[in-house]
């Protein structure tokens, strides 16, 4: 196993994540249920993490509101 793969698996292990988080098919099956989604990517430092869709949507909405309010303010 190459070093980057070992680091990736070590990261997942330290975070208590299962290999099912790495499987695109299994992530899709979880997301299809609609309650949870996965955020992250395939890089070593950004493992796939399962979060509640409602929490993700709320955080995304708040971020958009902050961005919009920053654009509206006169400079």
CA dist 19 to 1, 6, 56, Å? 16, 13, 22
The DSSP H or E segment spanning 38 is strand 36-39
Question: What is the rounded distance in angstroms from the CA atom of residue 18 to the CA atom of residue 9?
Answer: 9
pTM of the model: 0.66
pLDDT per residue over 15-68, tens digit each? Answer: 777 776 778 898 999 999 999 999 988 776 788 889 999 999 999 999 999 999
- Per DSSP, 23 falls in state -
The DSSP H or E segment spanning 43 is none
Question: 54 or 3, which is more confident?
Answer: 54
Q: Which residues contact 37 (CB under 8 A, 6 or more apart)?
A: 30, 31, 50, 51, 53, 56
């Amino acid at each position: 196993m190459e070093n980057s793969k070992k680091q990736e698996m070590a990261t997942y292990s330290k975070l208590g994540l299962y290999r099912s988080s790495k499987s695109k098919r299994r992530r899709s099956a979880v997301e299809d249920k609609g309650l949870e989604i996965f955020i992250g990517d395939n890089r070593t430092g950004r493992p796939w993490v399962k979060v509640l869709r409602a929490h993700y949507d709320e955080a995304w909405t708040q971020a958009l509101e902050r961005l919009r309010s920053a654009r509206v303010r006169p400079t």
